Amino acid sequence: MSSKTSRRLLTGTALALSATLGLTACGGSQDPSEAAAEGGELTIWAWEPTLDAVVDAYEAEHPEVKIDLVNVGTGNDQYTALQNAISAGSGGPDLAQIEYFAMGQFELGESLAELNEFGADQLASQFATGPWEGMSTDGSVYGLPMDSGPMAMFYNQSLFEKHNIQVPKTWEEYAAAARKLHQADPKAYMVNDTGDAGFITSLIWQAGGKPFNTQGTEVGIDLADEGSKKVAQLWQPLLDDELVAPITSWSDQWYQGLGDGTIASLVTGAWMPANLESGVPDGSGDWRVAPMPQWEDGTMATAENGGSGLSIMENSEKAALAYDFLQFATVGEGADLRIEQGAFPATTKDLEDEKFLNRKFDYFGGQQINKVLSESSASVIEGWSYLPFQAYANSIFNDTVGKAYIGDTTLGDGLAGWQDALKGYATDQGFTAR
């Protein structure tokens, strides 16, 4: 062969090799387990305390992998940091914990990697409905659920017994119980609420309402639909007669109120036991869990409140490795580790596991609370979706609906005001508001 041809051959081979190398460097569709065997470094932004053990276990099994688990803030604080990193194009993590209501925001910004290429869409049956719908849109999967928050009623049984109150099964009974309790003891309230967007939207969800709809860039907002009206009509008399404690959730007074009998019940997500156990240790033995109050006696329909999953960022260069960890943490061994530490599962196999269901909780006087919570998870109404800018929507909730809590307007009008504000914001952001 002449030197010219051999040189061309060499160049050709070199080009072909570098092309192949370039393709694999893109991390396109590398097998996740191969990526794990190769090793590398991952950065995860999450505030979930149960992930520490998962990271340790994963690193033990895959010594070539080094994971940096960073807590850059809880909820909205992290979303701000994440948004900044995405806009700056650098400084972001490979994986991030995102709550279900905030998924829309990041999905729309195309900041999350689509996981269908790794076969994530085949995992649908392994997860409960609510969480799965929260992590996927139109068949595209953007993350895997970590925990879920099917709602139930947590109540202080010793307080109920003291004032001879029956555990309410319907919302009508709940309102009546609220009245009876407050009359018997003016310092005690059935529940606290100073304007919580997540709570009201979850109630609307349970009432069958579907106020938020997104089709591409068209956003439908209808906070006067059947479900929304039902909730407004239920909650308004409670506000008018001051049967709701004026204490903001998650504040110091809230923890105090739960402990000293000021707040007798909470209708919230299945993750509450962990908060009660660490934040209200004096209440141990007094609290019980009952199904969420129903609209009609004999039915069983619930909603989700809170819960989060892990997503892989679109600009991460280690998507395959990240997916291997993601699987480990959500459907593999990692999931079991988290559940042991008290996380409420989003996986159907764990929700139906005998040991899980039969577990007795000392805090709840030995009650097998997981049976109630699991039943709630299986009864979550399908088809709910949040707005692509739900985090923003929740932040302006109190500007409009919040006024109803101080008596300046009614819930119905407040919701209408919120709807108008959201439609205006949607149009400003370039959506078409319906």
Partner 1 sequence: MALTTLRPAAARSRGTLHTPGRPKRSLLLTIVTGIVLVYSLIPLIWLLINSTKSQGDLFSTFGLWFGSEFNFFENLARALSYDDGIFLRWLGNTLLYVAAGAGGATLLAVLGGYALAKFEFPGKKAVFAVVIGAVAVPGTALAVPTFWMFSSMSLTDTPWAIIIPSLISPFGLYLMWSFAKEAIPADLMEAARIDGASELRTFWQVCLPLLAPGTVTVLLFTMVATWNNYFLPLIMLRDPDWFPLTLGLNQWNSQAATAGGEAIFDLVLMGSLLTIIPLIIAFLFLQRYWQSGLSAGGVKE
Q: Which residues here bind partner 1, judged by CB under 8 A?
A: 47-49, 70-75, 81, 88, 91, 147, 149, 250, 252, 255-256, 259-260, 269, 271-272, 274-275, 278-282, 306-308, 342-344
In this complex, which beta carbon is closest to partner 1, that of residue 342 or of residue 365? 342
Query: Between 114 and 147, whose beta carbon lies closer to partner 1?
Result: 147
Query: Taking the complex as a whole, how short is the minimal distance between the CB of residue 303 and partner 1, in angstroms?
Result: 15
Cα 347 from Cα 267, distance rounded (Å): 22
Distance CA 259, CA 64 (A): 47
Least distance to partner 1 from the beta carbon of 91, Å? 7
Distance in Å, CB of 81 to partner 1, minimum: 6
Query: 72 vs 167, which CB is nearer to partner 1?
Result: 72
The residue among 10, 12, 264 whose CA lies nearest residue 154 is: 264
Distance CA 285, CA 57 (A): 33
- Closest CB 256 distance from partner 1, rounded Å: 4
Which residue lies nearer to partner 1 by CB, 258 or 411? 258
| CB closer to partner 1, 78 vs 367 | 78
Buried b (16+ CB within 10 A) or exposed e, 127-142: bbbbbbbbbbbeeebb
> Which C-beta is closer to partner 1: that of 73 or that of 365?
73
Among 328, 300, 258, which Cα is nearest to 44's?
328
CB of 286 to partner 1, least distance (A): 13
Dihedral-angle region of residue 103 (phi above 0 means left; psi in -120 to 50 means alpha; beta otherwise): alpha
Asked if 113 contacts 28 with a C-beta cutoff of 8 angstroms, the reply is no
Residue 277 CB, nearest approach to partner 1 (Å): 9
CB 344, CB 376: distance < 8 Å: no
Residue 26: how many CB atoms within 10 A of its CB? 11
Stated as kind and residue range, the H or E segment containing 218 is strand 218-221
Given 3-state DSSP classes, what are the helix, strand and coil percentages for the chain, each rounded to the nearest 5?
50, 15, 30
CB 202 → partner 1: shortest distance, Å? 12
Report the residue number, 377 or 419, with the smaller CB distance to partner 1: 377
Nearer to partner 1, 257 or 402 (CB): 257
Taking the least distance from each CB to partner 1, the nearer of 308 and 374 is: 308
Select 287 or 344, whichever has its Cβ closest to partner 1: 344
CB of 56 to partner 1, least distance (A): 11
| Torsion angles phi and psi, residue 153, rounded to 5 | -105, 120
Distance in Å, CB of 157 to partner 1, minimum: 19
Q: Cα-atom radius of gyration of the chain, to the nearest Å?
A: 24
Are 288 and 161 a contacting pair, CB within 8 Å? no
Q: How far is the CB of 171 from partner 1 (least distance, A)?
A: 23
Q: What are phi and psi of 37, to 5 degrees?
A: -65, -35
- The secondary structure of 85-128 as a DSSP string is HHHHTSS--SEEEEEGGGHHHHHHTT-B---GGGTGGGGGGGB-
Where do the DSSP E strands lie in 237-339? Answer: 244-245, 265-269, 287-291, 308-312
Q: Which residues contact 434 (CB under 8 A, 6 or more apart)?
A: 213, 218, 219, 220, 221
